[in-house]
Amino acid sequence: MPMIPRRHGWEISDAEATPESVYLNRRQVLTQAAAAGISGVLAFQPWNSTAWAAKNPLVTGKQANPPAADKYPAGKNTMYTLDRPLTDERVAAMFNNFYEFSTVSKTNIWKLVEDWPTNPWTVEIGGLVPKPKTYDIDDLIRKMTLEERLYRHRCVEAWAMAVPWTGFRLKELIELVQPLSSATHVKFTTFMDPGHAPSQRGIWSLFSSGMWPYVEGLTMAEATNEMTLMATGIYGRPILKQHGAPLRLVVPWKYGYKGAKSIVKIEFVKEQPKTYWNQAVPSEYDFLANVNPKIPHRRWSQETEWMIPDRSVRRPTMLYNGYGEWVAHLYKKA
Ligand SMILES: Nc1nc2c(c(=O)[nH]1)N[C@H]1C(S)=C(S)[C@@H](COP(=O)(O)O)O[C@H]1N2
Ligand SMILES: [Mo]
């Protein structure tokens, strides 16, 4: 009798819609799917977040010596309102996509980041700028204006959440560094640390496309949109490591994979950057990645979504994740 890992009801079908199934080998996929299916039947129970939170009072994943820690909590920008309750802080902190740490599970990333140091940390700003410069993260954050915003988040896999991010507008940084007019895109490169990030080393790097580091990109018009946030905090405190400490991109009208975590380099470039998921599976993850209920993923519909941790309630997906008022004009054909 093979060992079947016991799972909580709310994590039973991790494997059903995750991108990793395209690059793990077929046998692994089948084994995982079978294990998830069987344990799902045996262990399914409605998720009781109150009872669970009582047993797990501490959110782990704090940065050691978080940068600009005295800036929290930052002032609230009340312009962006939610149509749903905020996700429980501990639920958000314990359900993550962070492929550098695991391509298999979302529910133990918070443990896997424990020994990963995010300090010291520098962010290189380069490419088509008059003065390329490497900033210490603490100095960089202190140059910017921090604010808190409530945003919905929609993963391409159909799970969603609503969280308070603290951060600064990317636009403010762009105004500071004054990119040349020849720049058409911004390229975000994230950390490389095979010693701490298991997927970046050995055999795992083969199964995770071998294309590290994770890279994302935006057009200049998207990057300078008011909604585009560089998150440095969450729930009124410095951002947890599992959410992409110490600096993470947040573009809430796009699928979550655009929101690169743990950024070390921001470059202004003159062509569309080659991005991680788009390179790995171009037919399933496009560069644009705007949330759109009418454009199905190749393997599932995008008409509905569910809010973590409750898979049993599906709600309609909104075009641009409900942020069309701010961003639809970017995509109108002239
Ligand atoms: N560096 C890096 N950034 C990443 C990812 C990743 O695997 N590596 N996953 C993306 C995906 S698919 C999602 S949905 C969000 C998840 O963010 P969260 O774990 O803070 O909810 O991070 C995005 N940013
Ligand atoms: Mo995602």
CATH number at residue 295: 3.90.420.10
Cα–ligand 1 centroid distance for 241 (angstroms): 11
In a domain, 235, yes or no: yes
Burial class (CB in 10 A: 0-12, 13-18, 19+), 108: middle
Q: From first to last of its 334 residues, what are the pLDDT tens digits of the chain?
A: 333 333 333 333 433 344 433 433 333 333 343 333 333 333 333 455 556 566 665 678 999 999 999 999 999 999 999 999 999 999 999 999 999 999 888 999 999 999 999 999 999 999 999 999 999 999 999 999 999 999 999 999 999 999 999 999 999 999 999 999 999 999 999 999 999 999 999 887 877 777 899 999 999 999 999 999 999 999 999 999 999 999 999 999 999 999 999 999 999 999 999 999 999 999 999 999 999 999 999 999 999 999 999 999 999 999 999 999 999 999 998 6
The residue contributing the CA closest to ligand 1 atom 6 is 98
262 close to ligand 1 (CB < 6 Angstrom): yes
- Asked if 238 contacts 141 with a C-beta cutoff of 8 angstroms, the reply is no
Q: In a 3-state reduction of DSSP, which class is residue 52?
A: helix
Q: Element (H or E) spanning 149, and its range?
A: strand 147-154
Q: Does residue 1 fall inside a structural domain?
A: no
pLDDT of the residue at 55:
64
The tokens of 231 are what? 């998150």
Residue 262 CA, ligand 1 centroid: distance in Å: 10
Most distant pair of Cα atoms in the chain: their distance: 64
Q: Best mutation site among 257, 285, 291 for ligand 1, i.e. most ligand atoms within 8 A of its Cβ? A: 257
Give the global pTM: 0.87
Q: Determine which residue's CA is closest to atom 23 belonging to ligand 1.
A: 257
Q: Is residue 5 part of a domain?
A: no
Domain count, the chain: 1
Range of the domain at 157: 14-331
pLDDT tens digit sequence for 101-140: 998 889 999 999 999 999 999 999 999 999 999 999 999 9
CB 95 within 8 A of CB 308: yes
Q: Does 4 fall in a domain?
A: no
Q: Is residue 306 part of a domain?
A: yes
**Ligand 2 midpoint to CA 22 (Å):** 15
- pLDDT of 202: 82
Residue nearest ligand 1's atom 2 by CA: 261
Closest C-alpha to 172, from 197, 143, 149: 143
Ligand 1 neighbour 243 (Cβ under 6 A):
yes
Pocket of ligand 1 contains residue 257 by CB under 6 Å: yes
Q: Is the Cβ atom of 259 under 6 angstroms away from ligand 1?
A: yes
Cα atoms in the Cβ-side hemisphere of radius 13 Å centred on 80:
27
Amino acid 204: pLDDT: 78
Which pLDDT score, from 0 to 100, does residue 323 have?
98
Answer whether 261 contacts ligand 1 (Cβ < 6 A): yes
Number of Cα atoms under 13 Å in the Cβ half of residue 180: 13
Q: Does residue 8 fall inside a structural domain?
A: no
Candidate of 14, 91, 98 to mutate for ligand 1, largest count of ligand atoms within 8 Å of Cβ: 98
Residues 6+ apart with CB under 8 A from 54: none
Whether residue 111 is contained in a domain is answered as: yes
Ligand nearest the Cα atom of residue 110:
1
Q: Is residue 302 part of a domain?
A: yes
Burial of 127 (C-beta count, 10 Å sphere; 0-12/13-18/19+): buried
How far away, in angstroms, is 19 Cα from ligand 2 center?
9
| pLDDT of the residue at 57 | 59
Question: pLDDT at position 219, please?
Answer: 98
